[in-house]
Amino acid sequence: MRIAVLTETHPGEARVAATPDSVKALVKAGASLTIEKGAGAKASFPDAAYEEAGARTAARATALKDAELILSVRRPDEATLAKFPKGAVLIGLLEPHDGKAFADACAKGGINALAMEYTPRITRAQAMDALSSQSNLAGYRAVIEAASIYGRAFPMMMTAAGTIAAAKAFVMGAGVAGLQAIATARRLGAIVSANDVRPAAKEQVASLGAKFVAVEDEEFKAAETAGGYAKEMSAEYKAKQAELVAAHIAKQDIVVTTALIPGRPAPRLITKAMVEAMKPGSVIIDIAASAGGNCELTKADEIVEHGGVKIAGFANLPARLAADSSQLLAKNFVNLYPLLKDEAGKLAPHWDDEIIKGMTLTRDGKVIHPSFGG
Ligand code: NAD
């Protein structure tokens, strides 16, 4: 199978969909890879490393010529998509929640598009789950960003010149990113608390040594979908949650927000008034920035200062540790590869497999994913 990997076209994207390690694994599985020249440069993977691993590096047009499978971190831009060979399979984080236009363009070009965001949350698919692999690193990086923006230390320090108090960190949303943020903040010595609307999160938070702070009413006890995601909560629950959070947040130095509901704008959890109740010097890192933000004052890709509180809206945290995030994402693709070929190694996606079925946006010129009414 001929696989192409291009330089990402999304502004600011530093990740790449293949690494020298993933090239080795795919070549061993019978694939031939062409990587666009310079595709891995921002993630510290030079062309020579890909060549050594068994790939060819070439200009974009050459990489695309005859490509059967195109691995991509994000959606390619329109001009690039228009150059994809008809019948090719495109796999990546294609942002399927962001309307139908991209899927329509793929269908029109005869591209069979598979969105990694729709990897089903079943045990067999865990090793292919790009949302998890990237969220985990985003959670880690959010705390590192917080530590670098915060003008104080995280751990308690007893020095001859006096004692420094430990930072208090609050993580909102204890999914994959949130749990990693909790673990990272704990490792740095902060006193950590967290919340979530899914009851299953309570035990996980406690097992990481953090305090769980949530309204635990009847609605909370039922607030998880069969797919393991959060449900949108009622207005009443949100009001009760806001009251509890307002009192808690005023005492925090660091707040990391990670709350997301698939396909919906991020829930608004921190109002301007709550920010105004925080101490000057406190830091909010809003991981949900790209979905509109959990904080009312968040601006994507900016650090906003309000009354001495800094609110950072890094919209693409995984790209801020591009070598590791590329490595994990590329491994997700390697793990998915057996579901894309037949025994002879030819491109033959297992369309009826639950995982491929869940991910398929377009096939044979048609938009078929149920989320688009397909
Ligand atoms: P996510 O990125 O969709 O959301 C992040 C977190 O925000 C979630 O924990 C969600 O419950 C929480 N949230 C939503 N609204 C909130 C609110 N109003 N207040 C506070 N928190 C709120 O979720 P995720 O990180 O992808 O993971 C969700 C769950 O799925 C986790 O338990 C995870 O372990 C599980 N998971 C399972 C698999 C698998 O089995 N293959 C793969 C990945 C994740």
Per-residue pLDDT tens digits for 265-285: 999 999 999 999 999 999 999
Which strand (E) or helix (H) includes residue 308? none
Residue 347 has pLDDT above 80, yes or no: yes
What share of the chain has pLDDT > 90, as a percent? 90
Q: Give distance in angstroms: CA of 174 to centre of ligand 1.
A: 7
> Does the CB atom of residue 260 touch ligand 1 within 6 A?
yes
Query: From CA 48, how far away is CA 104, in angstroms rounded?
Result: 37
Q: Give the pLDDT confidence score for residue 224 in this predicted structure.
A: 76
| Residue 193 among the catalytic residues | no
Verify whether residue 121 is a known catalytic residue: yes
pLDDT at 374: 67
Cα(259) to centroid(ligand 1), Å: 8
Average pLDDT of the chain, as a whole number: 96
- Report whether pLDDT(221) > 90: no
**CA nearest to 154, candidates 126, 186, 178:** 186
**Per-residue pLDDT for 81 more than 70?**
yes
Residue 261 has pLDDT above 90, yes or no: no
Burial of 86 per CB tally in 10 Å (0-12, 13-18, 19+) = exposed
Whether 126 is catalytic: yes
Q: Is 131 in the pocket of ligand 1 (CB under 6 A)?
A: yes
Query: With a 6 A CB cut-off, is 195 part of the ligand 1 pocket?
Result: yes
Q: Lowest-confidence range among 37-41, 225-229, 231-235? A: 225-229
Asked whether residue 227 carries a pLDDT value surpassing 80, the answer given is: no
Dist CA 279 CA 306 (whole Å): 11
